[in-house]
Structure 1
Amino acid sequence: MTISRVRNGSILHRFPSALPNGSKRDISGPASSYSILDCIFHEVLPVPAARSFLYLLSFWSVHNAIMVSPYLLVLQPDETYYIIDMICWRGYSLYDCTAEFRFFWVNSKLMETTASDPPSTYHRYRFSVVPIYECTLEGLEAAYSGSTPYMKDGLLFYNKHVHYQAGITPLALVWKDEACSQYIIDTDSKGQVPSEQHVVLELQEDGKLATSDDPPVVFGSLDNEFIQKTNLRPGNLLRFAFRDERVKLVDGKMEISELQFVGRPNRARAFADSHSKALFQYAARHAPLRIEDLVASIQSNHMEVKSTDVEMQG
């Protein structure tokens, strides 16, 4: 049997699949022969896709060192699990493998199964791998402008030389603009862009409000009286708003002098925002990073590599 879970750990689907040991009909190994895939589920309705970790239980700066993949949003009701990474396959751990190897492995191993076939009695959902490109000018153009069977929700950049890292990491980042995403600036529960930027932070033991980074970035604090009055506890996720004039950028980090409590986020929310997300949202409202900036970065790196090659030849 195959089980998919959303970020907070709750089960999204429990279903038979054509993945190894993915259904009762296909039990071809011991209980330790499990697989773990990092996927985005292609929803039926046109709303942001739910990113899920799949546990197969049967008993399952821009440069050439970066690979880019079109992140996705649902477009048509085909109910497909799009694989963006592979963490384990038939009990073989890929945590210590480079991203480049994991992407090669997921493409080659998926072809050995019928998991990409249309749904059937013993295969409830189809699996597919999102297209992945080297982050050259040609690769960036293909990811940015190329057609896909789903609506894009930005581009996902990986450093291809590093091992898998759980949680927040600067080695895997999402970038988006109006041309490749409908949702650049975060919206409220009504789907509207609030006049003031919002951020979700985690309440710490000492009353500080921090991001999900390791180590966390502190944006503010709450006094004990407010915490007791609102029955808050350490670990609670809380939504705040802040005005532009309360923000200062110091050495690439945001400093917020005043937070306004808005309420609690959706219960399905598993983590606080990362510092990079808050910073990206701030930039998106004022001076967004454009596709031209990414192109210029690639061109600059190409010139540096070319210059180094000339020096070595000399």
Structure 2
Amino acid sequence: MAPHEVRRPFKRPAISDQQKRRELSLLRQAQNRRDAQHHARCLASTVVSLQAPNPEPIFEPEIADEPIVESESQSIPRDIDVRQASKLKGYEARRWFARQLMLPEWMIDVPDRLSHDWYVLARPTGKRCFVVSSDGTTVSRLRNGSVLHHFPSALPNGARTKDISGSAQSYCILDCIFHELDQTYYVIDMVCWRGYSLYDCTAEFRFFWLNSKLAEAGACDPPSPYHRYRFSVVPIYNCDQNGLYTAYTGAAPYVKDGLLFYNRHAHYQTGNTPLTLVWKDENCSQYVIDTDSKGQVPSQQQVVLELQDDGNLTTSDDPPVVFGSLDGDFIQK
């Protein structure tokens, strides 16, 4: 007689709320797009009505002023574009650029529909930065907003030469990682191209443009007097079994520092977002554990935890990772 199949009497509780926050982020994106489309329709209808010989009055309900609440994924300020921000100086410039990168969360659980809705890429080791080409020059800025390099490039309006096409008003923003060993900017995302904003475009569309536009501009060519650093596109794979295996174990022209996962429907959101995830272990990253100043692994690893009001011990990540909890008696002692 075959043994009776043992099934769990209840569904296993979720490891974290990361999946729920992913779904909320996608819903928020859809709502923002509907609001933008509604605003455009209202603006178009208002222009048409004003052009009519006898326009009828338009009555709109009065809306009380409400305080603006910033969401966990703040969008780029629409009243300041990157060309204006590039002219900011000192602290103000660093402060503005430090808030513009989209930052991944640690992968705590496996997302739903991983093989259908996600991309994966092997993250290069190096300095994460924004690369902005505008007004005939190119500037790269680190995560803290400080300038990394100031150089000419083949990006749109990135150098003062007749060989580089593009109007004086065009500009470009790339999300890159600068790899020190080969002096190459590895591009992991495209935010703006020739003045066309890609913030509200899906990752699927952004990656398509990234692979087609960057080579056309000549940015992937070897360095030259008008193109100091080479740019290269990081290979992006579908998050199926073959793609994961290639990104995790396959050879790369750079030193790997973990895996990055992108939801193909995600817009470019500034700040931390659950629609972009990072994974690191000893097989795909040199920096999965701490080392000393000589590069040696110490006998003990250290972690700084914060004691919350409810007794939980958490990291400073956003969202925080809970390591455990302390009871009230121990806290009093």
TM-score bin (small chain): 0.5 to 0.7
Deviations 1:90-111 (A, max 9, x none): 1111111111111111111112
| Residue 197 of structure 1, CA deviation | 2.6
| Paired residue secondary structure (1:155) | strand
Letter in 1 for 2:230: R
2-side partners of 1:256 and 1:29: how far apart?
59
Rate the CA distance shift 1:197–1:191 in 2: closer, same or farther, 3 A: same
Q: Find the partner of 1:38 among 172, 175, 183.
A: 175
Q: Residues 75-154 of structure 1: matches in 2 within 5 Å?
A: 78-154=182-258
TM-score computed with the length of structure 2 as normaliser: 0.50
Aligned counterparts of 1:129 and 1:140: Cα–Cα separation in 2: 18
CA contact (8 A) 1:168 1:212 kept: no
Contact in 2 for aligned 1:35/1:89 (Cα 8 Å): yes
Q: 1:170 to 1:189 in 2, by over 3 A?
A: farther
Point out the structure with the larger strand share.
1
2:167 maps to 1:29: yes
Find the counterpart in structure 2 of residue 18 from structure 1.
154
User: CA 1:256–1:198 in structure 2 vs 1: closer, same or farther (change >3 Å)?
Assistant: farther
Say if 1:159 and 1:199 are closer, same or farther in 2 by CA, change over 3 A: farther
Mark the CA change 1:149 to 1:113 in structure 2 (over 3 Å): closer, same or farther.
same
1:198 is paired with a residue of what secondary structure? coil
Whole-Å Cα distance in 2 between the matches of residues 10 and 112 of structure 1? 29
User: SS state of the match for residue 168, structure 1?
Assistant: strand
The structure-2 alpha-carbon separation of the partners of 1:88 and 1:196, relative to structure 1 and needing over 3 Å to count, comes to same
Query: In structure 2, what is the equivalent of residue 2 of structure 1?
Result: 138
Alpha-carbon deviations, 1:121-143, whole Å to 9, x = none? 00000000000000010111111
Rounded Cα–Cα distance in structure 1 between residues aligned with 2:304 and 2:173: 31
Q: Distance in 1 between matches of 2:305 and 2:209?
A: 36
Match of 2:277 in 1: 173
The one-letter code matched in structure 2 to 1:154 is G
Say if 2:221 and 2:230, in contact at 8 Å, map to a contact too: yes
Partner-residue secondary structure (3-state), 2:274: coil
Deviates more, 1:35-44 or 1:9-18: 35-44
Distance 1:113 1:200, change over 3 A: farther
RMSD value, Cα: 2.4
Q: Is the 8 A contact 1:87 1:94 kept in 2?
A: yes
1:30 maps to a residue whose letter is A
2:253 corresponds to 1:253: no
Deviations 1:7-27 (A, max 9, x none): 000000000001111101136
1:161 aligns with 2:265: yes
Structure with max Cα Rg: 2
Distance 1:179 1:84, change over 3 A: same
Deviation track 1:268-305 (CA, whole Å, cap 9, x = no partner) reads xxxxxxxxxxxxxxxxxxxxxxxxxxxxxxxxxxxxxx
Map of 1:149-228 to 2, 5 A cutoff? 149-193=253-297, 195-199=300-304, 211=316, 213=318, 217=320
Contact 1:80–1:126 (Cα < 8 Å) also in 2:
yes
TM-score (norm 1): 0.53
1:177, 1:102 → 2: CA distance? 28
Structure 1 unmatched runs, 5+: 45-77, 202-208, 218-251, 259-314
Gaps of 5+ in 2: 1-136, 307-313, 328-333
- Deviation (angstroms), 1:42: 1.1
> Alpha carbons of 1:137 and 1:212: their partners in 2 closer, same or farther (altered >3 Å)?
closer
1:100 aligns to what SS in structure 2? helix
What's the offset of the Cα at 1:190? 5.0
Q: How many residues align?
A: 181
Q: Which has the higher contact order (CA 8 A, sep 6+)?
A: 2
Cα distance in 2 for residues equivalent to 1:37 and 1:163: 15
